[in-house]
Every structure is written in C-alpha cells, then in structure tokens.
Amino acid sequence: MALTREAIESFLATVRLQSVSEAANALFVSQSTISHRLQVLEAELNTKLFYRQRGFKHLTLTESGRSFIPLANQWLELDSTIHQSLSSTPSGKIVIGSMDSINQYLLNDIIRQIKLNDPRLNLQFVSYHSQEIYSRLTLGHMDIGFAFYPIHYEIDAIPVFKEPLYMISVTGSIYPQGPIHPQQLKKQDQILFRWNPDILSWNHEWWPESEPPYVQVDSTALLTTFLTEPHHWAVCPASVAENLRTQGLIEIHPFSVPAPHRICYLLKKKHAAHIGSDSVEKFIDLFYRHLPSHPWRYEED
C-alpha cells in the first residue's frame, strides 16, 4: 500500500489544527475517515506518529511524527508538481466537478458555446455531491466546481445560477391547471428529492418531516421513474422541470406561495497558481461571457 495524498493531507491538517474533529471539518470528511487515514499512514510508515489519549480525538505528536512534518510537506509539493506536469497539455486540461443535474440542465448550453469558442480546451467532467466537490477542490483534485451551497473555507464561491421551484406531475394529472398551494398536496404522494438544505427546510414547513413521502430519490432519472401516477407530484427546480416538459413527461404548476430559489455556485480555490491556471482562467472568462444569455443566470433580488 503506497502513501496517498489524502493521508498526507489528513496528517498535516491534524497537526495544524491539533484536532481530529477540526481536521475533518477542514477537509469536509468525517472524523472516522481522518482516523482511518492516520492509522493507514502509520501502518505504511511502520511507526507511530501520535500518542493517543482517550481514544483517537486528542493527539500528541511522537518524535517520529515531528520528524515527518517536513517530509510530508515535501511529499505534497513533489506530488503536486508531478501531477500538474503530467496532466497539463497544450490544449489545457480542466477538471470540473459538479452534480449530474447541474451538468445536464444548467451547464450544457454554456459548455457547448465555450467549446465552439475554443475547441482546444480539454474539459473533463466528474460527478460528485456538493460536499465531495468542496473536499476534492480543496485537495487540488479538480480545478473548478459547481455546487448548491457556499462554504468559504479556502474556496471562492460565486453565485452564477438562480432558479425558481415548481410543482411537477405527470401529464394529465389530477391537479388543476395554474398555480397550486402546498396545502392542496399530500406528502404521501410526493416523490421527494433533497435538492439542497433550504429547499428541504421549506418542504418540512408545509409537510411534516415525520410523515414519509411516497418515495425519496437522489437523481432525476429516479424522479421520472417514480413520477407515474396522476396523484404523484414533486418539487423541482425550473431548469429540470422545463427540460422534462419539453420531453412530454410532465406538467408544471407554479406555487402560489413564496418558495426558495435554488442557487448554484461556481467554485474555485483561492490563490490557485499552477501550470494549468491559464486554461482555468480562460474557461472562467468564456463562462462569464455566455452567462448573461442563460435563462437562469443569477441576479440579485
């Protein structure tokens, strides 16, 4: 088993913050993940890096641990140099992390325009949930991210998309045309998608959290899979709803009461400076050039 960047980052974060829990918060992972990484690192090095008291939370560096700090920093620098050198190409490789619903319903048109402007841009998309995107961006495993809530730890989070929520149901549903009030809807008929914390909190305001929905899903593919009966309904952001309607799959009902908007943020690491940074800045410049024509571009109220 070889040394990993995640293990070295976890070690240095624990040393810097003097706490497993603080290191876990900084790297957007669980405490058990940090603990496991440190155990694996010690096994690989065949030495103890920390004295442990009261289990695994309160740690003190051993002599080996103190000696390993400069070596760990050198390892990270060398690893970054190697990966940046090997991954940089004349076309400018850019790793972009986002959720599937962002790629499919918010970014697709802009990306096509960007590729028309500069076909040589080498874009690689990887799909993760928002918290994983922050973690991997912080660790340098991707260049740009798009996510649904801002965390400003070493990350610039800039709002770029803002879209309303609709109620959607199958075409020919039991619901009357036009705006609909939440009180007209039963929780037992809901296909629940946890779009983001704000939307979920609003959902709990109108329908008891203790009452189960018809089914809970985590992808738009599953949303349409279960949205089949005339009484089924779901809360859905505008970009997804409009796309599904053009396919003839659903009908859209605006809410007659105020509902939160879904806001998407462009994420990039603060003070990022590496071999591929020129390509990243070019991508961002092209992105903002095309953003004003996007129907769900972010605008202040």
pLDDT tens sequence across 37-96: 999 999 999 999 988 766 545 678 899 999 999 898 888 778 766 765 555 444 457 889
Q: What gap in Å lies between CA 86 and CA 142, rounded to an integer?
A: 14
Question: Please, are residues 161 and 106 in contact by the beta-carbon 8 Å criterion?
Answer: yes
Position 209, amino acid = E
pTM: 0.69
Q: What is the pLDDT of residues 152-188, one digit of tens each?
A: 667 889 999 999 999 999 999 999 999 999 999 999 9
Q: What is the pLDDT of residue 275?
A: 46
pLDDT tens-digit readout, 38-47: 999 999 999 9
Amino acid at 163: E
